[in-house]
Amino acid sequence: MCGRFVITSAPAALRQLFGYVEQPNFPPRYNVAPTQPIPVVLVENGARHFRLMRWGLLPGWVKDPKGFTLLINARSETVLEKPAFKRAIRRRRGLIPADGYYEWKAVDGRKQPFFIHRADGAPLGFAAVFETWAGPNGEELDTVAIVTAAASKDLAALHDRVPVTISPRDFERWLDIRGDEVDAILPLMAAPRIGEFAWHPVSTRVNRVANDDEQLLLPISAEEMEAELEASKPKRGARKAAAASSDDGQGSLF
């Protein structure tokens, strides 16, 4: 799956790569998370455009978003059949500019985050489907999900799912929604080739959405990983102190 990603390339470089007409200026993001606004490239009136959409797709038929599951990913194997995605995959396909993403793997009984990126360091475009949800009071919300596929053998060492990435040579084919046929884009919904991506372990600071800085991308050593594990363990004395002060009448949530 894909639950966090990174956008670090300069806005001008992304505009040149994706070919949208707008000239947005935005800061680098090192820890993009679901429900946040994210950039989406789409075709409208024959031209490519840059739009901000909420990461977490809401189908148009949803009545109450509060009771609906947050759909941040769409499985390529079932995207043509699932009610939430089957219209969007035919008529509302987009690309999400990115420079990599995070995945978590169980290591010695804990979840270790890894940063995954193209081996050549180039930006990438996640395959996406989007919907505009209209509320009962006339409000509208553009929402989007990232298409995923079964991981290739190398990336499967981290997780069994990966985001589908579209090569620049296939941008036009993926974004072409002039017809209602999907045969042309079916081969694009696949995992990257073996060796196309590289990865390294990073600090567990990425676990906290509020942390959004370039230090999150730095590789960490086995010694640093062990130090983070030790620091995360609750201290016996701290537990006793917390127990002694738990009935302070403040109704603390922590």
Residues noted as catalytic: 2, 103
Give the N- to C-terminal CA distance of the chain in Å, as an integer: 30
Give the integer Cα–Cα distance in Å for 82 and 191: 20
